[in-house]
Structure 1
Amino acid sequence: MILAVALSLALQVAPSPQAESLFGPPEPVQAYTDDEPRCVRDGSTLELNVCVLEDLRAEEARMQRYFDVAMTRASEGDAESGQFGGERTQQTAWLQASQTAWVAYVESRCAGVFDQWKDGTIRTIVSFGCRIEATRQRTHDIWEDHLTYWDSTPPLLPEPVRTVWEEAQGEASSAAPAARHDTTG
């Protein structure tokens, strides 16, 4: 939460309305003005800070989507368990507890990363990079542990291999018209 507030103050931009951060409630969305930095992947430090914030929000949104599907599956499993006299499962409780513990772990881990780099301009990129990588790993863990099957049944969602940004770039390039080559020579 401290990092999100610090970044918002440093950048004077509102977070993306696309996803609520797992690390605090979203702030009111404001329109960009000409003097506010925007995401430019090969731009200044402030522009790169905007990019990592957008990347974090996108990764958090994907993780939340995977978590929601996992919770639905866990809830259905809990409801169906114990039908043959066995003990009922508590998958929703365990999944929620693991998510709560994960959030606390990431807060501590990435606060330490921020502290290590707090005197440098790279601190935001490095600390948000920590959150992005942890979120990507958690999303994959949720997928592997809760959205796949032990047999040949297809997973409930695709394996999250690439970053959300990479996936968007791939979709953008596949949507672009193919270049025409003159073969009449």
Structure 2
Amino acid sequence: MRYLLLAALLLAGCASTPQYALLDPQAANVTKAANLLPIQFEFQDSRADQSVIHMPKNVLSNDSGLDQRIASRLREGLKAKGFTLAPDADAKLIVSLVKLSSVVNKGFASYKSEQQVVMIAKVEKGNHTMTKRFTSNGSFEAPFGPDIGRLEEELNNLTTQTMTSLLSDPQITQLLSN
């Protein structure tokens, strides 16, 4: 039995690791506030490094198109909230993705992962400007080696949670709608 477990661990270590993490967060879960004023919307991926999963012997970057998917989910959330997106509106919401990361530390027969997603929202309306930071953290421990699918799922969930917090923020909604 001991040799069978050792063989399984060795074979698991030989499996190839993908080069990219496939991230696709869900749309933010927001409550419609009413028919609010039109706003401009802009999304920026401000990360200096596109690496999202950091393992002891490997680093995975996000797949191309992640910024378009996040921007699309944020637009969906703004429309669900009641905003109309218009390029010439007086109010402007700029969302920057600052961090999207999962750091994996391997133990003898387990691994621990710590994730963090950080977005900054900047609202500009007339002479008023407001900037807020939204952070979601997570961690888990699991047996054997890192499960890329689980790591991707955790990052997707935290990204959705961060977008929901941002779009549900009463100060942002108030400044954009007044």
Q: Same fold (TM over 0.5)?
A: no
TM range (shorter): 0.3 to 0.5
Larger strand proportion of the pair: 2
* TM-score in terms of structure 2 length: 0.33
Larger helix proportion of the pair: 1
* TM-score in terms of structure 1 length: 0.32
Higher RCO structure, 1 or 2 (CA under 8 Å, sep 6+): 2
